[in-house]
C-alpha cells in the first residue's frame, strides 16, 4: 500500500494548469477524529483521535510529518513520514502521505506487530486563512513483517490549523 501511495504521489508530481504543488507554505497543527477499523467484517469499528504536526518546507515536493493516534480501545500509534500536498484551483486540497511508527494494540485489534506502516489520501477545502478541513481514508499494516498482517482502515475528518500566515498572493500551500 505504501508503494502504491508513493507511485500515485509521483504521478501527481507533474503540475498541470489547475494544480499547484506548493513550494512552501505554513506548517500545520492537525487535529483528527474518526473511525479505526472501518472496513471490518466483524463490525468492530472504534473511535480514533489524532494529533499531527506537518512541516511547511518541502524537499523535492515532499514534506515531513509526525503524529500520534489513539483509539477508544486504548490502541496507540506514533510515527512519522512524508506527504505530498497538492492544491487545485486555490482551494481544493489533495494530500497523499505515508509513514512508519510504533503500535500498541491496547484492547483493540492485533495488527501483527509493533512496527506498522500507514498510507493515506485526503481531500478537502483550504480556506482563505489557509486553514483546512479535509476527509481522509487510510490503511495501516505491518507490510507482512509480522506473524500475521490483518491491517486496518481508518476514516478521519481533519482540521488543519496553520502555525504561520503565508506570504504573497495566497498561492502557496
Q: How many whole angstroms separate alpha carbon 86 and alpha carbon 51?
A: 21
CB 119 within 8 A of CB 47: no
What pLDDT is attached to residue 18? Answer: 55
CB 142 within 8 A of CB 113: yes
List, in sequence order, every beta strand (DSSP E) within 55-128: 62-71, 76-88, 92-104, 115-126
Q: How many whole angstroms separate alpha carbon 74 and alpha carbon 105?
A: 7
Question: Which residue segments constitute the domains of the chain, with CATH numbers given?
Answer: 2-16+29-162 (2.40.160.20)
* Mean of pLDDT values over 74-101: 95
pTM, 2 dp: 0.83
For residue 155, the SS3 value is: strand
What pLDDT digit, counting tens, does each position of 89-131 carry?
889 999 999 999 999 998 888 899 999 999 999 999 999 999 9
More confident residue, 61 or 80: 80
- Cα 121 vs. chain centroid, distance in angstroms? 6
For residue 12, the SS3 value is: helix
- Cα 69 vs. chain centroid, distance in angstroms? 11
For 57, residues 6+ apart whose C-beta sits below 8 A from its C-beta are: 24, 63
Amino acid at each position: 500500500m505504501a508503494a502504491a501511495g508513493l507511485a500515485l504521489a509521483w504521478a501527481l508530481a507533474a503540475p498541470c494548469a489547475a494544480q499547484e504543488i506548493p513550494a512552501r507554505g505554513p506548517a500545520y497543527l492537525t487535529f483528527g477524529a474518526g473511525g479505526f477499523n472501518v472496513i471490518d467484517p466483524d463490525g468492530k469499528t472504534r473511535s480514533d483521535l489524532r494529533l499531527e504536526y506537518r512541516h511547511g518546507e518541502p524537499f523535492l515536493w515532499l514534506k515531513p510529518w509526525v503524529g500520534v493516534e489513539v483509539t477508544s480501545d486504548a490502541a496507540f500509534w506514533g510515527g512519522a513520514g512524508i506527504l505530498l500536498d497538492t492544491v487545485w484551483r486555490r482551494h481544493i486540497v489533495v494530500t497523499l502521505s505515508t509513514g512508519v511508527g510504533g503500535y500498541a494494540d491496547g484492547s483493540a485489534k492485533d495488527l501483527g506487530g509493533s512496527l506498522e506502516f500507514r498510507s493515506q489520501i485526503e481531500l478537502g477545502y483550504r480556506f482563505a486563512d489557509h486553514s483546512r478541513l479535509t476527509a481522509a481514508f487510510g490503511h495501516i499494516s505491518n507490510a507482512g513483517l509480522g506473524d500475521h498482517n490483518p491491517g486496518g482502515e481508518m476514516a478521519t475528518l481533519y482540521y488543519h490549523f496553520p502555525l504561520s500566515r503565508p506570504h504573497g498572493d495566497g498561492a502557496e500551500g
